[in-house]
Structure 1
Amino acid sequence: MENMFQDVNAFFTAFGASVVVPVMIFIIALFLKVQPKMAMMSAFYAGVGLTGFGWIISEFTPVVTKIIKQMVSTTGIKLPVVDIGWQAGSLASFGSTVGLAFFVFGLLFELLIFALGITKVFMASNLWNNFGFMIWGTMAYYVTHNFWLSMGLSFFMLLYSLVLAEVQADRWSDYYGVKNATVAASHNIEQTIPAIFLDPLWNLLGFNRVKVTPEYFKNKLGVFGEPTTLGALLGLIIGILGNLHSLGTIKAWGQILQFAVQLAAVMTIFPLVTGVFAKAFAPLAEEIDKNRKKEVAEQGKEIDAIHDKKRWFLGVDDGVGYGEPATIIAGVILIPIMVVIAFILPGNRVLPVVDLISLPFMVESIVAVTRGNILKVIANGIVWFSLGLYASSWLGTIYTGTVSHYGVAIPAGVVLITSFNLIARPVNALIFAAFISQNPVWIGLCIVIYLVALYGLRRYRPQIWSYLNRMAEKNAK
């Protein structure tokens, strides 16, 4: 069995996401009766989009990392747990028996629970992001050496994530313009919780009446409201913060202006790549919509999407939403904010660095629920990701030990590591704590809460979606 898992790891390592994901999309498209030509183009668009994301992020990450390190050096503050990016956690997940077992059996489980109607999200279409569930099971196994408990944790993370994914599905689909699609990655879905529960507080403070959206910037500021120009201005500000002690030098201003142009490029190019990537899923999502409408018509009924209890969603990669203007603008604004918070937050031990470029991925659910209200996105991000810093601080030793144990080299001079994107997850951390305690009471409580949430979703899904739409409409455009 272990040899089989190693073969699976070798296969996916050899081909990578840019090959495996398109193949999966091609197969799913044919299953949905999409025309072969269109299915083939969907697969190609997925591969091109993923390759484009990889190129841009791999080029831009070192630039952002350098600026952040300079900001840290300027303050002189030392934090022992350093964020080195999600890639180390992904590699560790695919290097562990628990992780690989979940990758194989998790896919079968995703197909089963979808077929049984336990979830209305077809998660199998977003297979590659399963490492977000695998890393928690891998860490649990490192701590407890209990294979079945660790596997159970990964499966539970999947189940509860799918509930959140379905809760925000109608809003995400509507806001990002991809019919019957939603994101469900473990590392980026729990932000649905603060987006919903903190919204009444932000409305009480009047945030919903503040026009802070890309459309407003564009209408009021003209050329200065364009994402490209905003990227340049944000790059200028971040660049200056990273060079506060050397603003009188040509070298500093060279870096500042280069970073301004580089960030402007990212803000311009990412939406283009996102548009290509979205083309991979659009035909599949539209086919789902067409088939459902045909089925309803044959039954002689008229039913809107909100009240259609059989409506289901395609799980898509969160790269589909990364380049949307409000998403990328809010995410970039949060970069320096989270660095400053890391310095001043009492008890925090984590320095977010490499995964800061992932912040646009991390705020998508908040953007969808708040209808692109950038002020609310930033406020929610500050609250939730600050709690996430505490989660990462606690898990620093465990995560470092796990990554080291499964063969990933720790950078020289770094004592403890983390991934701000994977591990700065308050709810995931609480569930992890319950499972590694091996206390039936705490584990049972997690399961009971999930079952209650699932029952509520199945019984009141139209009411939940209608409520979220009314929430969204309260935000000024």
Structure 2
Amino acid sequence: MGFIESIFDYILGLGAEVFVPGLMIAIGLIVGMKFREAFNAGIILGVAFIGMNLVIGFMLDALTPAAQDLAEMTGIDLTAVDGGWTTAATLSWAWPYAFLMFPIQLIINGIMLFFNWTKTLNVDLWNVWGKIFTAVAITGVTGNLYIALVGASVIVVVELLLSDLNQPSIEKVTGIPGVTVSHGMNILTVTLMPIDWVLRRFKFFNKKMDANALREKIGVFAENNVMGFIIGILLGFAAGYSIADALILAMQAAAALTLFPMIAKLFMEALSPLSEAINEFMKKRFKGREMYIGLDWPILAGSSEVWVAIILTVPFTLLLAFILPGNAVLPFAGILNIGLAVPALIVTSGNLLRMMVLSISATPVFLYVSTYFTDIITDLARTTNAVALEEGQRLTWSTVEYPVFRFILTELGSFTLIGIGMVVAWILLFLFYRQQMTKRNEEFKAEVEEVA
């Protein structure tokens, strides 16, 4: 058992920038690509991951301190410390049974592909820690390892089903054929869709409001570099920065928003030939079958709408943290909520106005669920010693990804009436989501055929 665990630890320790390109080179060779083509595509994919993660890190390093200064200026005194996703990941990997989730995900994905229950091959294996965190949360509530592993396995299945449904929308955003996002954060799309459906009933919210539409309306002020500069300087002033520091932050935000689309093109360059080769392989051997490559969310980071929505939501998040009764969490390390903006991008097809409404509407859910998980995360930190806590200190993750579904699974694992009722409601929401996305995907297909 220890030997198997060490193998998985070594593979995952390589990181997405090494592991995923290596896996894609192997897949490329299996489906008949020439070695030089597969090798070149794999290396470019690795470069794209490194480049995108560097810019995302640069963006977060620049903006997070400003957002945190803004939080401190509010004078809010809340008891739970927000450790962000990195702390949650550290605690997840410290769980004694963490290594089991890796083979479980591979086996489930393999079975679903074999029986044609999914079209997605999920190569985003590093983010298996999200399923581990779910298992940890369920164990913290139920004390039952087997229920926890079943709950985490449900996440694997739902991720794949949603990856299939979301693929046409993701292809439209990225321009990369045969690629989808298999990150669990997109489970939140199921909960957001009914709100977006209601908003779409109103003409005001149905106007075209993505970055391209803004450029047509307000010209240079909607260019990525200018938009980044404006958002950065406003955040700097709101956080109490000096003029010089605010200008530096503005230029950093401008640089990041300018570079995101440039690096996103590398994903297209790497993945397009791989996707074509895989689908040719499937057509020859499995009539009528196609396969999608499931990747991490950064392939969507080139969308300016994501970052605009993330930054503009910050002041509303702080306000809600202050006024919501029963909230114990001050958003800090996770104050930039990527796990909310990315699903909102998919649900709204990049409509910034509706993205903002969804982001503000869903923020209370994140705060309350992170409050709910505070004792579980704190206990895990103390028992594993993976994170040092002072006496009396409490730890949580303010932007816990897909909070509704994780809460449902913990309640269902305890066989509570609220858990059973909520899972029935969620299944109905999923069916509604599938109906809405199927309709949208057919419209996308008709648009492509009309252009062709």
Normalised TM-score (structure 1): 0.83
Distance 1:425 1:345 in 2: 17
Partner of 1:9: 9
**Mapping of 1:25-424 within 5 angstroms?**
25-123=24-122, 125-186=123-184, 188-243=185-240, 252-291=242-281, 310-359=289-338, 362-410=340-388, 415-423=393-401
Note closer, same or farther for the CA distance 1:414–1:467 as it changes in structure 2 (3 Å cut): farther
Measure how far apart 1:210 and its partner are.
2.9
3-state SS of the aligned residue for 1:178?
coil
Distance 1:223 1:114 in 2: 46
3-state SS of the aligned residue for 1:190?
helix
Distance 2:404 2:198 in 1: 20
Measure how far apart 1:229 and its partner are.
0.5
Distance 2:391 2:256 in 1: 30
Percent of aligned pairs sharing the same letter: 22
Deviation readout 1:24-49 (Å, 9 max, x if unpaired): 22222223323322221222123222
Distance 2:444 2:359 in 1: 18
Note closer, same or farther for the CA distance 1:291–1:11 as it changes in structure 2 (3 Å cut): closer
- Alignment partner of 1:426 is 2:386: no
Measure how far apart 1:169 and its partner are.
2.3
Measure how far apart 1:411 and its partner are.
6.3
State which drifts further: 128-137 or 85-94: 85-94
Measure how far apart 1:219 and its partner are.
1.8
Distance 1:27 1:427 in 2: 34
Amino acid at match of 2:199: W
Distance 1:70 1:275 in 2: 34
Q: Is the 8 A contact 1:369 1:468 kept in 2?
A: no
Note closer, same or farther for the CA distance 1:29–1:445 as it changes in structure 2 (3 Å cut): farther
Amino acid at match of 1:335: V
Measure how far apart 1:294 and its partner are.
6.4
Deviation readout 1:266-313 (Å, 9 max, x if unpaired): 1112222222234332222223444566679xx7xxxxxxxx7x4442
Note closer, same or farther for the CA distance 1:471–1:438 as it changes in structure 2 (3 Å cut): same
Amino acid at match of 2:146: W
Partner of 2:450: none
Q: Unaligned 5+ residue runs, structure 1? A: 244-250, 300-307
Deviation readout 1:222-260 (Å, 9 max, x if unpaired): 2211011111111111111111xxxxxxx6222211111
Note closer, same or farther for the CA distance 1:96–1:221 as it changes in structure 2 (3 Å cut): same
Measure how far apart 1:203 and its partner are.
1.9
Normalised TM-score (structure 2): 0.87
Distance 1:446 1:159 in 2: 18
State which drifts further: 394-403 or 224-233: 394-403
3-state SS of the aligned residue for 1:97?
coil
Amino acid at match of 1:112: I
Q: Is the 8 A contact 2:159 2:183 kept in 1?
A: yes
3-state SS of the aligned residue for 1:346?
coil
Partner of 2:449: none
Q: Is the 8 A contact 1:136 1:154 kept in 2?
A: yes
Q: CA RMSD in A?
A: 3.2
- Alignment partner of 1:22 is 2:21: yes
Amino acid at match of 2:44: Y
Q: Unaligned 5+ residue runs, structure 2? A: 447-452
Aligned residues: 446
3-state SS of the aligned residue for 2:400?
helix
State which drifts further: 408-417 or 212-221: 408-417
Deviation readout 1:139-194 (Å, 9 max, x if unpaired): 323444422121111101111222222222222222322212221211x1123224
